[in-house]
Amino acid sequence: MRIIGSTRATRVAAAAVVAASLLGLTACSGDSAPTPGPTLPVDPPSTPAPNSGWKAPTEPSIVFRNTAPGDDFGKVSSVALSAPAGARTVSPLTCERVDASRRALSCLSRLDTDPVGYRATLYEADGSENVFWSLPGPPSRTRLSPNSQLAAWTGFVDGESYGGVAFSTQTIITQVHGTYYGPLDAFTFLVDAKPYAAPDLNFWGVTFADDGNTFYATAASAGRTWLARGNLRGRTLVAVREGAECPSLSPDGTRVAYKKNLGTADAPRWTLAVYDLGSKAETVLPLTGNVDDQAEWLDDQTLLFGLPVPGSDGDFNVYSAPADGSAAESLFLEHAWSPSVVR
C-alpha cells in the first residue's frame, strides 16, 4: 500500500477575491456539506489495512453509492447494467463519492473522527487498498480513466464554504500505479492562448480521454467558468469554452456533457448541455430538475445524473436522458448517487 500526502492549496490571501467572484458555484456538489476537518497524517499505519470487502464487477454493471435509508446507507453497491431495477449487491465499503471499473475503485470517504476528516482511497479489483491520501476538506467528485490507469479527485479546501458565497477546491490527478501528477493548480492555464493566473483560480470535475494523457476539467476565476482541455505530459490546461462546469467525456470521445446555468449567479438554474468537440455545436437538454451533478454516460446516446428525492435528507435517485435533447429525464435507478458504468 502506498501513501501520498496531499498538498494543501494556499488560499488565505485570496479569500476576499474568492468570496466576490465564485458566487453561486457548487463544484458538482449535489448534497449538503459535512463539517470540514483537518488533513490526515501521512505516516504509514502500523498494521496493513483490512480488505474493504468491495469486489469489482465481472459483468457490465452500475456501481453507485446506495442512498436508501437504513443500515446500508452510503455503502458502495452495484446492479446489473441490463437490469438497473433488479436486486443490488451491497458491499461493506462506505463512500461519499465513488467511481469504479473492473480493475479499480476510487472512494472519497468521511472519517468519523473528532474533528471530522476526509480521505481519498484507491482500491484494487479484489478490494485491497492500493493508495490513500488526505482530502483538504469535504469531497466533491472523483473519476477514473476509461483504462483504469488514471484517477482524479476534487476536494473543497478546509475552511472555505462548501456551497455558499465562496469556496476553494483542490484537484489531484495521479496514475493508479505510477506517476503522481499532483494538483492542477501547478499546471499552466491558457485563455485565448495566453497564460492566465489569479489567486482565485480553481479547478474541479475531471473527466479523462482514453489516450492516457488528455483530460477535461472545470476552470473558474473572477465569476467565469471554462471547459478546459488538459495535457498531463505537458502540464497545461487550455480554455475551450466558457460557461461550462463538471464535464463528462462521451465513450467515443466526440462530445462533452456538462452543467450549464440557465439562471443567474444569485439564482442558478442548472441543467445539462452536450458540446460536440468537432462541430462546436451545443445542445441544451430539456430537463425538468435542477441538475447539480457531473453526468455519467450510460452509452454514447444516454446520460445518467442524480437528483435529490424531495423531502428527504441525503436520498437521491439517478435519472437518464438522451444526449441529443430529444426528451426529458426518466427515472433510471432509485436510492442511488454517484453512478459509474462498468462496461
For the chain, give the percent of residues with pLDDT over 70. 84
**Mean pLDDT value of segment 168-197:** 96
pTM: 0.87
pLDDT per position as a tens digit, 185-221: 999 999 999 999 999 999 999 999 999 999 999 999 9
Torsion sign, CA atoms 75, 154, 243, 265: positive
- Average predicted confidence (pLDDT) for the chain: 87
CB-CB contact of 271 with 257 (8 Å): no
As a dihedral over the C-alpha atoms of residue 219, residue 224, residue 227, residue 231, rounded to 10 degrees, the angle is -40
pLDDT per position as a tens digit, 217-251: 999 999 999 999 999 999 999 999 999 999 999 99
> Which positions ≥6 away from 216 have C-beta within 8 Å?
206, 207, 209, 227, 228, 229, 230, 240, 247, 249, 256
Bridge partners of 191, per DSSP, are 194
Residue 29 is predicted with a pLDDT of 58
pLDDT per position as a tens digit, 66-125: 999 999 999 999 999 999 999 999 999 999 999 999 999 999 999 988 888 999 999 999
**Residue 159 pLDDT exceeds 70:** no
**Mean pLDDT value of segment 120-148:** 95
pLDDT per position as a tens digit, 12-30: 333 333 333 333 445 675 4
CA-based nearest residue to 109, from 145, 143, 77, 133: 133
CB-CB contact of 120 with 176 (8 Å): no
The domains found in the chain, sorted by start residue, are 2-342 (2.120.10.30)
Residue 266 is predicted with a pLDDT of 86
Residue 158: DSSP 8-state: T
Largest CA distance in the chain: 56
pLDDT per position as a tens digit, 278-297: 999 999 999 998 999 999 99
From the CB of residue 232, how many other CB atoms can be counted at a distance below 10 Å? 18
**Mean pLDDT value of segment 252-276:** 95
**Residue 40 pLDDT exceeds 80:** no
Residues in the chain: 343
